[in-house]
Structures are given as structure tokens and as C-alpha cells.
Structure 1
Amino acid sequence: MITSKKLSKILKAFSDENRRLILWFLQKRELCVCELEQLLPISQPTISNHLRMLSDLDLVDSYKEGRWVIYQKKCNQDALVINILKPIYCAMDLTGQYESQLEKLKIIFKDNLC
């Protein structure tokens, strides 16, 4: 069961557009930091800080693949968290505001970047 304190931290994490975008991209596919750098208008250290925060909240997992750390959405999320995130992701899909990033997501791969 999720505590009210953790729920507050999760909602606060979603107040930042870049963290929302990181989680939204990770719903689409696994990514490394250099791929996220191509999708977001922020620096690598800032992306890493956001990923650390999301990982601390159990929203993101990571694993090592050669020289890369690959980030993915957390598979076993609390039902309450899923019920909070799902409508946010749907709204982001429906707005069309992020279409250019989605197109970019289809063509960027870590092998060509790092």
C-alpha cells in the first residue's frame, strides 16, 4: 500500500513537465540518458537527476547493458499509482502536443548517439 507521503511526492514529481515527459517516453520504450537528451530540451545532468528522483519513487527501473544504463517504466507499480498515471498518459497522447517528439522517438537509438 502506498503512503500519503509517497503519494504527495509522486504528485509533486508530476508537477514538472520534463519528468512527465520522461515517464511518458518510458511508457513507449526503454531509453538511455543520451536518447532522452535528444528528446528533451534539458541537459544530461538534469535528466539524470530527474531519473534518480523517479527511481527513488519506484516509478522507473534501470539495468546495465554494456556501457549504457537503460531506463524503463517500473513493471510492478502500485494500483493507485497506475490509476493516477494512466489518465495523464492518455491526455498526453490525445493533445498531439508531443507528436514531434514521438516521431523522433521512432528514429533515435543509443547505438547512433553514445
Structure 2
Amino acid sequence: MTGDMRAGGDDRTLAVLAHLSAIIAMIISAGWLSFAGPLLIWLLFRGRGPLVRGSAAGAFNFNLWAWLMTVIGWILFITVIGIPVAIILWVIAAVLTVVCHVIGALRASRGELYRYPAQIPILH
């Protein structure tokens, strides 16, 4: 979903940060806390406007999906026979996380809301 959210510069900055904070947290925590940045921005700034709220919620919901893929990968990895599938799930989750968050940040910088391709809809 794209559209002009008519957001000011501060709102666009927070929306970009909502997307990019997930990548930063993913690198620092090996993927385990990638949802923390978007959640924090949503909790603190969701009242600022639809761009900030939608960007943070979308980034959080997408990261829940990526986190679930990672957990399923670990469960498969432990079974030993599922190692190839686990590796594929980890690669898909990592690549989509980076690509989608970069696209989301670029769109947010233009005041557009990015709709992630996969989400577990918790925040709105």
C-alpha cells in the first residue's frame, strides 16, 4: 500500500527509523530482537500520525513473521534431518528482512506507507 501520508519531516524520520531499527537490532542480536526497535517506536510515537504508526506497526508485524521463521528453522535444525530446510528458512528470513526494511525506509522517506509482503498482524 502506498500513498502520500502528508507527513512532516520528523514523522518521516521516525518512520524511516522504525524500518531501519529492525535491521540494526537484527545485526546486534543475530535476529532475535529485530522487533524491538519498531515496537519501541510504535509505543512511544504511534500518536504522531498514520505514517509513523503504520510504519512501526508494519515493521513490527513483519519482524514477528521473520522471528517465527527463525524459530521454526531452529526447531528443524535440532531434528538434524531438517537442517537443509532450516538453512533455507533462515536465508529467506534474513534476505527479506534486509530488502523489505530498506524498501520500507526509502518509501517512508518520501512519506509513503510500505506494506510488507508477510506479516503476523498484531499491531495496527
Considering the TM-score relative to the shorter chain, is it more than 0.5?
no
Give the TM-score band, short-chain normalised: under 0.3
Higher relative contact order (CA closer than 8 Å, sequence separation 6+) = 2
Provide the TM-score with structure 2 as the length reference. Answer: 0.27
The structure with the largest alpha-carbon Rg is 2
